[in-house]
Structures are given as C-alpha cells and as structure tokens.
Amino acid sequence: MVQAQAPGKSVRLATACTECQRRKQKCSREWPCNHCQARRIAHLCKFTPKKVLKAKPVCNDSRAIVVSARGDGQSPTEARGSVVSGIATEDDFRMLGYLPDNDDQHASGAEQYQSAALSPSQRLVSPELEKAIRTIPPKPYTDILVQYFLSEMNDQYYCLYPPTFSHDYATWWSGKANGQSLTPAFTALLLHVCACAILYLDVETRQQLETDLGENCTSLSEQYHSTAKQLSNTIGPGKGGLTQVQQLFFGAIWYKTEALFFESWHALGAAIHEAQELGMHRSSSKAKVSEFEREMRRRIWCLLYTWDWQMSLLLSRPFIINSSCCSFELPSLRLETPNTGTNTPSAITSISLQCQLGQRISKIPGVMSGILSPNQATAIHQEVSRWTDTFPPIFHLPNPDTTHDHTHTYIPMQRQQLHSLAHMVTFMPLKPCLTIDPTTKSTPTLEKSLQPTAVSCALDLMLSAQQLLSHLLPANGKFHFAPFLMFDTAAYLCSALIHDKHRDLPHREKVLECISLALSTLKDVAKTAKTGATCYAVLAKIVGSISLSAEEREVVWSKRSPAITSTTSSTDDAGCSSSEDNLTSGQDNGFVSPLLEKHGPSDSTPIDMHAYASGLGLDGIPSTGLDLDLDLSDLNQIWDWDNLGLDLDIPGI
C-alpha cells in the first residue's frame, strides 16, 4: 500500500535532471546540478518528481452535497432548483479576493521554462506597449546600455540574473523582428534598465549616444522611465509575474538615482505589494513554480525587504513589510557557486546579509516604527555585533579574505558597504546624543553618558563612508548612500560643536578634521551628482554658522587633508568599536583629497553646482554672519532638519 507523503516532506527527485537525461550525462542530483551550473542554464535544470498516489478522501457527512460532472454543462446549483447549496466554488472565492488570480499561470511553470519576453498567446498590442516598443533605442545602443548595466551596475543589487535576462533580451529582439507578441512587463523592464544605465555612462559613451540619438542622456533617461511607468500601469495586479516585480523595483532604483527619495519609497511600496500579490511573502514550498523561479522569488523578496528597512529608517517612516507576518527563505548561492564548500563569492551574498540584519533589529521594540532612540542603542549594537560575526571570510571586519578581490571587482565595494551599514545602524539611535547641551540640568542622563560614544561612532562611520565612496567613484558617483552618510554624520557633528559651549566635546579636534574631510569629499562628488551638490551646499552653510576660533576655522577649511585616526580601539558603553585605523592620510605639499589621490586630479568645480553655497569667499572660507537661507531641495524628504537641534532661524523649514 502506497502511503501519502507527509506534509512538508520534499518529493523524491529523479536520478538526473531533464537536461542531463537529454545529454546523457551523469548528474549531481542537486539543483542546479553540476553540468547546468557550469553551462549557466540553471533555469533549464529541472528534476521530474516521481508521482505519488493519493487516496481519494471519503466524506461521511450525510449533509454534504456531492458535486458530479455533468455532460449538459448545468451547474449543481441549477440542477437542484432553488435549493441553497452552501458550498462555494474556487471561482467564487477568487472573485471575492481570497485566492490569487495567477494560480493557473504558474501551473505549467515547473514543466518548461517560458521566456518572460514573449507572450504564449497572441494579443492585441495596446497603445502604451506600441509606444514603449518605439521608445526603446535601436539595438546597437540598447546593447550598450544593457551590457553596461549587467557589467557595472547589477552587482550593487543583483536584481537581475544575467544568463536568463540576456536570454530573454535576445528573445525579445527576435520576437520583435518576427512579429511575435511581446509582454508588457519585460518591455517595461528593458526600458527601465536603459533608463538607469544611461545615467551612469562614462563621458565618452554618453557623448556618443547623445550625438547619435540627438538628445541629451538626462532627457532620454526621463523619457524611458516615463514610458515604462505608463506601460506598467496597464498591467493588472498579479498579471505580470516576477518580471513585473523586477521592473517596479527598477522604478524605485531610478527615483533614488535621481535623488527623488520620496518617490522612490512609494515606488518600492508598489513593488512590494506586487510581490505580495504573487505570494512571495509566504513559503515557496507550495508554489507551482520551477526551482529556478523559486530561487529568484527568494532573492527578489530579500532585496525588497532590504530596501524597505533601510529606506524606512533613513526616511523615519514605518516599515512597509511586517516581518512578523512573512516567511523568509534565504537565497541559495549555487547559481553562481558550483561548490558551496569553497569561498568563491556570490554577488547575492551581500543582499542576503543585509536582509538578515533587518530581521534582527526589527525584533527590537519600536524599531519598526522607523524612529530609533538612545534607549535602543545597546540592544541595536548587540544585534549588529552578532550579525557581523556571521560574515563569510570575504566580508570579515578585521583581516578579510581578499583572494577574490581582483577577479570579482564588486567584492571590495560590497565589503565596505556592509561595514558602513553596520556603523550606520549603530550610530542612528545615538544621534540625539550629539544635539544636546550636556551642561544643562534638563538634559537626560542617558544622553549625557552616551555622548562620547556617539562621537566615536560618528567618526568611525565617516571613515567607513569615505572608504565606500572611494570604491564607487568615478563610475557610480550617483550612488547616494555614501555621500549622504558623510553629509548626515558631519551635520550632526556640527550640531555637537554648536552646543559645545565650554569647548570640551570629546575628540573635538578629530571632529573638526572629520568635518573638513566631509566638505572636501562632497565638493568632489558635487561635480557628478545632484545629491552631492546639495549636501555640500547645505553643509558649507551649517559649518559657516559655527562659532570657531581662527585656528579651528583654519583646520575646517584647510587646504591640506588632515590625518584623522580612529577614536576607539575597544568596545565602549554602547559597544561601538572601530575597525579601522586611519580615515585619510595627508600630504605636506598642498591639499590632495582622498578621492583625487585615487582617481587623479580633476578640473575646477562648475560654478552652478555650488550656487547654493552663497556667502563663501574666493578661498572657500565663509564670511562671518552667514545667513542660513538655503533650500534643502530633495534632502527635505530624507533629512529631518528639526532633529539637529540647531535652534537657528531657517526660512522655509
């Protein structure tokens, strides 16, 4: 007698995957198998499960209505006249919203890979889809943008799996040439890839595209994004599958690249809701999808959650995803790593780690509200420390394994990004400790005791953010995370100086040097990124309002890069510790910023990029009595001025 399989128990797989059976090769019998992984066709690696006989349930309830198949098409309800059945069909539940609409479309997903670029059935081409197809640039230029994104940008988030996207990309062009039905979701995704990639191109390639296409790259990017958004609006909830989730997420990437943080947060919410519509927040064990799509669903969900908790904390907003109501299944590394026992890195490892940090801190009371306080500082640091202890050797804080740094160029950037994230999360609950006057009796005791720790953590964060930025420039200057961290940290240190009436702030000299580094670095970033220009202008005006001695002012606006060392070598009250020794090194023969030292000298900064910083003299030193009448621009949506406690009269704020 064949027994039914126990719930949750995996189905026994065949002796070889379908591809190995077809090629008559010996299979490793694990997904993806050794041969499919080596050939980068994990999406074709499938194991046919052995069929399990299931006994038909026997219902002993005499009140139940037996539904039988009828040849005349008459429903059971009609057959019984006006008798009330009391039994609802599956379609009834689906109409009421209790079942997903996409249940049938995934039924064949485990049998055969279907390209996301082509529709299985011919459909009428909507005006939005027709416009989108016309908007995509000719193939040679689209090839340039797609290749640039996959080689230079995709490793930051790894939202696309290059082998399958390249396959679908080729299929899309082939289908377009043959008059086949193209899917709106993949067409919108392709437009968004072009919109994001064109903003990061090097100067020579940008000039080539602008000359050949007859329009500047900024306008082209806006056009691609706008057309993709219009096309996306025609796709119903749950109708575009995983590709629709990806292209909605690309919309959030585009907004963030353009420093439109408020719009990016809302676009992220749309992507999250679409993913939830597909059931990606639940366990994938029951989903009728292939192993490859199951893995991609895990990856995209981890990515969405990572963006959610980080953006929510930066914007002081509640989390969109309630982690207590979700099932988190960490992605596998086998798509990129044939042997999990080796230290060969996978680009998705960083995202998986960041997702785990969000899960850890979300369990601390009050964190999911989006606002952190000094009362949570110790608990948050403990979770961060436990998190960093789980890092693989390539991401270790002290003495990382740099064996693969040259062959996998994204590893140094991801390593430094994880370090910066650890410092950022540790510092966030300590920020209020820098905006207090410790000499007043009304200041809470906790904030007073944690102020030295807050200063140390701020300087360590500045160190890490500057090193991250050195890995991003010049290609990824618009990556907002590093310059904003430097600006935000420096602004809070400025607040600490303003409230330091007795000039006894811990590490005051290092704080001044740290602010000087932030000014010089942001001035470099301002040449290529709108966020950098605004951050530099605002920070320059804040610094100009601080009452400093002539000697201190010379340090802040010095033309030499100061040597800034870490302030801590061991764990302090909140557990904040330094993992680095030097923030930057100076040279005696004139000022050389760390970024210029790495990438070479650059031309003078365009005047219009610093128009906000009015009141600066020819030598860059602000005049006395500087009026802080400035426009925060897009920073107004990501930066809470009131929390600085500067007590300054700022119009419009």
Per residue in 214-241, pLDDT (tens digit) is: 999 999 999 999 999 999 999 999 999 9
C-alpha torsion 545→547→548→549, nearest 10: 140
Query: In angstroms, what CA-CA distances link 568 with 463, 540, 586, 611?
Result: 12, 28, 21, 38
How many other C-beta atoms can be found within 10 angstroms of the C-beta atom of residue 642? Answer: 9
User: Is the CB of residue 35 less than 8 Å from the CB of residue 65?
Assistant: no
Report the C-alpha gap between 33 and 19 in whole angstroms.
10
Q: pLDDT tens digits for 287-342?
A: 778 888 889 999 999 999 999 999 888 888 889 998 888 877 888 877 876 554 45
Give the CATH number of domain 12-49; options: 4.10.240, 2.30.30, 3.20.14, 1.10.3210: 4.10.240
- Given a contact cutoff of 8 angstroms between Cβ atoms, the answer to whether 567 and 456 are in contact is yes
DSSP 616: B
Give residue limits of the domains in the chain: 12-49, 136-335+345-355
CA 645 to chain centre: 30
Contact status, residue 534 vs residue 632, Cβ threshold 8 Å = yes
Is the sign of the CA dihedral 381, 382, 386, 389 positive or negative? positive
For residue 483, say if its preceding peptide bond is cis, omega within 30 degrees of 0: no
In angstroms, how far apart are the furthest CA atoms of the chain? 98
Q: Are 234 and 128 in contact (CB under 8 A)?
A: yes
pTM across the whole model: 0.75
Whether omega for the bond prior to residue 138 falls within 30 degrees of 0, making it cis, is no
Q: Say whether 43 sits in a helix, a strand or coil.
A: helix
- Tally of CA atoms within 13 A in the half-sphere of 85 that contains its CB: 13
* Distance between CA atoms of residues 557 and 542, nearest Å: 13
Are 307 and 252 spatial neighbours (Cβ–Cβ below 8 Å)? yes
Residue 29 confidence (pLDDT): 81
pLDDT at 68: 42
* Token pair 């009728």: residue: 288
Contact 436, 500 (CB under 8 A): no
Residue ranges of the chain whose pLDDT lies below 70: 1-14, 49-113, 286, 337-344, 473-479, 559-653
pLDDT score, position 14:
58
DSSP 3-state assignment of 326?
A: coil
Residue-wise pLDDT for 99-119, tens only, equals 544 443 443 434 456 889 998
Q: What's the pLDDT at 195?
A: 96
The C-alpha atoms of residue 40 and residue 428 are separated, in whole angstroms, by 42
